[in-house]
Amino acid sequence: MSDESNQKKQLTIQNVCKALKYAYSNNNNRTKQSALNFFQAHSHLLPRTRELMKGFIKLPRECILELVVTRRINLSQEEIYTAVIQWSECQCVLQSMEPSAENKREILGSI
């Protein structure tokens, strides 16, 4: 069995965001593409799956930007907005910032 097919078998809703975070921090393009494809196929579950949302809000900014810009999130505009706002609130907390509207805008930048 190839590494790629083994990797695809191992991706789950519970670990796809960890795989994305790993891929972005280690510049691992193979893992990144597999995880992005898996995330896209299951992104409709984001608002309804706590485990997926818990991982999503901890993803690095460049990953969120790629997911949004390349339209890899299969949700309505409103659901994407809500998810990205939740992500920005988490990022504020992780950076010891008040989750104010101004700080969330700063975190979001061009997303």
C-alpha span between 29 and 61 (Å, rounded)? 17
pLDDT tens-digit readout, 68-100: 988 889 999 999 999 999 999 999 999 999 999
Give the total residue count for the chain.
Answer: 111
Give the burial string for 34-65 (b: 16+ CB within 10 Å, else e): bbbebbeebbeebbeeeebbebbbbbebebbb
pLDDT tens-digit readout, 5-23: 445 469 999 999 999 999 9
Six-digit token string for 39: 């995330």
Contacts of 5 (CB under 8 A, 6+ apart): none
pLDDT value, residue 111: 78
Asked whether residue 110 carries a pLDDT value surpassing 80, the answer given is: no
C-alpha span between 41 and 72 (Å, rounded)? 8
Asked whether residue 2 carries a pLDDT value surpassing 80, the answer given is: no
Six-digit token string for 80: 């994407």
- The CB-side HSE value for 54 (13 A sphere, CA atoms) comes to 6
Q: At 32, is the pLDDT very low, low, confident or very high (cuts 50, 70, 90)?
A: very high
